[in-house]
């Protein structure tokens, strides 16, 4: 019998782990008190060390779908005890959290989601995959990438300290080395050993191939006569203002404290200018995270259908980033949250082969491979003769509308005055969008084309460098174990294949 098989008195349960560090003996009814001597030796040691007040589950690890269903069962059992013993309803959530080893808020969220949808929330990956709060400016990413490429072409290594020096010199920030390393990882770089012994930062092959594929596709679209249309979302705070001015000694600028409320907006741009009637601006109600939390698929899809698509030029190619709400497919289903019968019905309706003896894991694998992941907006665009391309991950410098955002925001920042209302900020935002000229859009398009050509050149140079490294490795005798000269499986034709690609 384990510790969890003993029944605790309701009053003996810890109300809040931050306020009560032990169980008060005075509040435990004498007939219901546990006798430590009657417990197994392992349970006695656990109680004496007061480890039963802690969760044996590793903190920070997200709950799986099965664990959430088990947590619901615990809550249901505590709810039945609540009805039998006439306990307060708030005690049910606290008891469930205590027995499951999680916080009370986790129990409340899972139960609320179950009452609304009839199922538990989907499993989430550990960590924050979208909102990365960092002291490194977002517009510094292109400069960091350029620094790494330039140093590598010079034959010099590049580490986090070199990046920190550039950030301090050009952007007036000095983040911690660990912060710089995390930022470089998010940009797609990895710190690994070069051939044969030097160390340097190198871009991941998957990111490099993703970028090169996009550059190839966008070049094809231009040669085919498609007009490239870029779209993106951004935001503007109520108190966003210019930070530089002329000051006398002891002088300062009167400004409201805090950033204030936030306008979120979305727009599209062509080489001829901003598309007419395509500006959508609304107040971002979500207070936590970045502006992406204020957008969802419903808002984006409604804007796409009602404002963007009717105003697109003929034969357009849309370019957008990899935001989650951009990539929503037509079949918005989560296989792990479906019942076995529902999976079988879905496979049968879509004429996909399956067997009666297949267990649910096998059915889930087949369903996951059969789902069409094509974004719904891409299918809608193709119905009207348009195409859609997705930007490579962490490459905002390939979207010219980012430069328009910077221009418009800087103009709005110079207009900030004390007493300016939130609606006045929106009026300034719309006015500055109207002032964006055809020449401005043409210039940012040409700037992005130069950046594309630079990336194309860099990718080919690094590809040639990798080929040279492979050739030199063979010449120096750094051969794979399976292909050393003593192995009969190695042939001269294998060497030619590796070198010539």
> What region, left, alpha or beta, does residue 194 occupy, with left being phi > 0 and alpha being psi -120 to 50 degrees?
beta
Angle at 248 between CA 242 and CA 254, to 5 degrees: 45
Contact indicator for 292, 130 with CB cutoff of 8 Å: yes
Q: What is the pLDDT of residue 287?
A: 56
Give pLDDT < 70 ranges for the chain. 1-60, 89, 124-134, 193-201, 247-252, 286-293, 465-501
Burial class of residue 183 (count of CB atoms within 10 Å of its CB; 0-12, 13-18, 19+): buried
At residue 42, the pLDDT reads 54
The pLDDT, as a whole number, for residue 43 is 52
**Coil, strand, or helix at residue 465?**
helix
Lookup result for tokens 């030029």: 313
Beta bridge partners of 387: 317
Question: Residue 482's pLDDT is what?
Answer: 43
Quote the CA–CA distance of 419 and 97 in Å, as a whole number: 48
Within 10 A of 381 (CB to CB), how many other CB atoms are there?
A: 21
The per-residue pLDDT for 203 is 77
DSSP structure string for 95-130 = HHHHHHTS-HHHHHHHHHHHHHHSSPPPP--SS-SS
Peptide bond into 196 cis (omega under 30): yes
pLDDT at 290: 54
Query: What is the gyration radius of the CA atoms in the chain, in angstroms?
Result: 30
pLDDT of residue 462: 79
Question: What are 422-479's pLDDT values in tens digits?
Answer: 999 999 999 999 999 999 999 999 999 999 999 999 888 877 766 655 555 555 555 4
Closest CA to 302 of 402, 376, 235, 228: 376
Q: How far is CA 84 from the centre of its chain?
A: 45
Tokens encoding 360 = 């649910």
pTM score: 0.60
Q: Which residues face 200 on adjacent strands?
A: 192
Buried b (16+ CB within 10 A) or exposed e, 212-231: bebbeebeebeeeebbbbbb
Residue 463 has what pLDDT? 79
Q: What is the C-alpha separation between 9 and 53, in angstroms, rounded?
A: 14
The count of residues in the chain is: 501
**pLDDT of amino acid 291:** 62
Q: Which of 239, 234, 233, 255 is nearest to 424 (CA)?
A: 239
Q: Rounded to 5 degrees, what angle do the CA atoms 474, 477, 482 make?
A: 80
CA distance 290 to 365: 34
């Amino acid at each position: 019998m384990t510790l969890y098989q003993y029944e605790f008195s309701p009053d003996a349960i810890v109300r809040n782990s931050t306020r009560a560090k032990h169980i008060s003996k005075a509040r435990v009814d004498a007939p219901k008190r546990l006798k430590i001597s009657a417990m197994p030796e392992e349970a006695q040691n656990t109680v004496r060390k007061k480890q039963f007040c802690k969760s044996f589950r590793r903190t920070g690890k997200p709950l799986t779908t099965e664990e959430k269903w088990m947590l619901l069962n615990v809550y249901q059992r505590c709810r039945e005890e609540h009805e039998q013993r006439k306990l307060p309803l708030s005690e049910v959530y606290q008891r469930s959290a205590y027995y499951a080893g999680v916080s009370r808020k986790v129990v409340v969220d899972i139960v609320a989601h179950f009452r609304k949808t009839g199922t538990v929330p989907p499993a989430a990956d550990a960590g924050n995959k979208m909102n990365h709060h960092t002291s490194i400016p977002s517009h510094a990413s292109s400069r960091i990438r350029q620094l790494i490429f330039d140093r590598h072409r010079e034959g010099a290594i590049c580490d986090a300290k070199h990046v920190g020096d550039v950030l301090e010199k050009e952007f007036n920030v000095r983040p911690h080395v660990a912060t710089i390393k995390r930022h470089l990882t998010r940009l797609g770089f990895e710190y690994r050993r070069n051939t044969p012994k030097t160390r340097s930062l190198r871009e991941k092959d998957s990111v490099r191939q993703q970028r090169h594929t996009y550059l190839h596709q966008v070049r094809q679209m231009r040669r085919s006569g498609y007009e490239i249309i870029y779209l993106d979302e951004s935001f503007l705070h109520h108190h966003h203002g210019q930070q530089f001015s002329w000051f006398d000694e002891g002088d300062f600028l009167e400004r409201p404290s805090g950033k204030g409320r936030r306008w979120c907006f979305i727009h599209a741009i062509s080489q001829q200018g901003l598309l007419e009637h395509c500006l959508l601006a609304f107040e971002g109600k979500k207070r936590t995270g970045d502006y992406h939390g204020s957008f969802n698929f419903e808002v984006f899809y409604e804007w796409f259908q009602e404002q963007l698509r009717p105003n697109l030029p003929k034969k357009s190619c849309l370019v957008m980033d990899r935001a989650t709400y951009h990539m929503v497919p037509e079949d918005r289903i989560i296989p792990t949250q479906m019942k076995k019968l529902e999976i079988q019905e879905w496979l049968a309706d879509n004429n996909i082969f399956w067997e009666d003896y297949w267990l649910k894991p096998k059915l889930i694998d087949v369903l996951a491979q059969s789902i069409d992941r094509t974004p719904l907006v891409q299918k809608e665009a193709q119905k009207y003769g348009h195409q859609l391309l997705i930007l490579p991950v962490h490459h905002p410098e390939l979207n010219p509308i980012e430069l328009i955002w910077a221009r418009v925001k800087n103009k709005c920042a110079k207009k900030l005055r004390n007493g300016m209302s939130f609606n006045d900020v929106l009026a300034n935002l719309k006015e500055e969008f109207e002032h964006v000229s055809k020449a401005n859009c043409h210039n940012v398009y040409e700037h992005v084309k130069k950046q594309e050509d630079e990336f194309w050149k860099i990718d080919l140079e690094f590809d040639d460098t990798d080929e040279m490294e492979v050739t030199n490795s063979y010449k120096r005798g750094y051969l794979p174990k399976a292909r050393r000269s003593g192995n009969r499986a190695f042939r001269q034709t294998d060497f030619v294949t590796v070198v010539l690609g």
